[in-house]
Structure 1
Amino acid sequence: MAARQAELVAALVAGGPVPPGFAPAPLAAARAALLRKRAGDVARQWPLLAAGLGADWPGIFAGWAARRPTAGSLRDGWDLARELRERGALPPLGAEELAVREATERYDGRRAPRRRRWPAWGRAGGAVAVQFAGRVRLLRPARR
């Protein structure tokens, strides 16, 4: 029973194959609904990234997330923003949001983000943010 449940969860949230005994169409509909819900959760954590991508947000997020199990909406948005930055596809609003996040928190891609205590800076897509004494300031906005 546990193995069948694991197969179903993998099919729903990690792009796994359809387990035997399940109809593909309803499973695909459930997968799409879960991706939309997940995109909404990430957009609440990363509103500028979602706004910067505009109408393309749902499709870009679904394409990125389809084969990745969630690590939580904060980390999913962070990982997506970093990947978009690497591809040169990060919009200016997303770059500014990423720079601010990286100035205020430390995230290595594996463990949960942790608050920075020392002065720090973040940089993404031309945007530069600094954090000092718990205050964050965007020194240079991203190129538009």
Structure 2
Amino acid sequence: MTGSVDTSRADLASRQAELVATLVSGAAVPSGFDPRLIGVAREALLRKRAGDVARHWPLLAAGLADRWLPTFTRWAATRPTQGSLRDGWDLARSLTAEGPLPVPATEEFAIREAAWRYDGRTAPRPRRLPAVRRVADGVVVQFAGRIRILRRWQRG
């Protein structure tokens, strides 16, 4: 009897892993599940995830305005979450590869890049050395753990 219980547990664990992969990273719907209901659940999870990321990256979300949810869900649909901070960072990096970010998001992204080291694979770590990042009208400087935004002075 123990062998059949172990097999049942292994089967259940396998089915659960398939279902999680479907919900969080766009894998195929496992047999025996209603694709419509799985789609509804996936959409709800993506909206929740977008809200969590927007809390960590408010200027990115606000800068994209009504494009935030479709942009995020399209980007996240096939990517399992790495946590809200990293998801936003990865999204910002992918958007900068396509073109400039909205102005407020550029500053938010530059501040994060100056304050933290993040390679896209491991968790972000605070920078120990000074760092400088460009923004539209100046630079973001991190020195001794403090962030300063230095803007170009314009004569009036």
Tell me, yes or no, if the aligned pair for 1:99 and 1:127 is still in contact at 8 Å: no
Q: How big is the alpha-carbon RMSD for the aligned residues of Structure 1 and Structure 2? A: 1.6
The one-letter amino acid paired with 2:109 is L
Once the two structures are superposed, what CA deviation does each residue of 1:72-111 show, in whole Å capped at 9, x if it has no partner? 0000000000010010052111111110000000000000
Per the alignment, residue 77 of structure 2 pairs with 66
- Dislocated runs of 4+, deviation >4 Å: 124-127
Matched, 1:15 2:63: no
The Cα of 1:125 is off from its aligned counterpart by 6.5
Rounded to whole Å, the distance in 2 between the matches of 1:31 and 1:81 is 22
Instruction: Output the CA distance in 1 between the equivalents of 2:147 and 2:66.
Output: 29
For 1:89 and 1:66, the matched residues in 2 are separated by 22
Which of 85, 101, 120 is equivalent to 1:109? Answer: 120
Superposition pairs of residues 8-87 of structure 1, within 5 angstroms: 8-87=19-98
Separation in 1, partners of 2:138, 2:66: 23
Overall identity of the aligned pairs, in %: 64
Paired position in structure 2 for 1:118: 129
Uncovered stretches (5+) of structure 1, i.e. residues with no partner: none
Deviates more, 1:18-27 or 1:115-124: 115-124
Closer, same or farther in 2 for the Cα pair 1:91/1:127, shift >3 Å?
farther
Aligned length: 141
CA drift at 1:123:
3.6
TM-score for the superposition, normalised by structure 2? 0.85
Q: How has the CA–CA distance of structure 1 residues 121 and 90 changed in structure 2, closer, same or farther, with 3 Å as cutoff?
A: same
Residues 101 and 24 (structure 1), Cα distance of their counterparts in 2 relative to 1, 3 Å cut: same
User: Larger radius of gyration, structure 1 or 2?
Assistant: 2
Q: Structure 2 unaligned segments of length 5 or more: list them.
A: 1-11
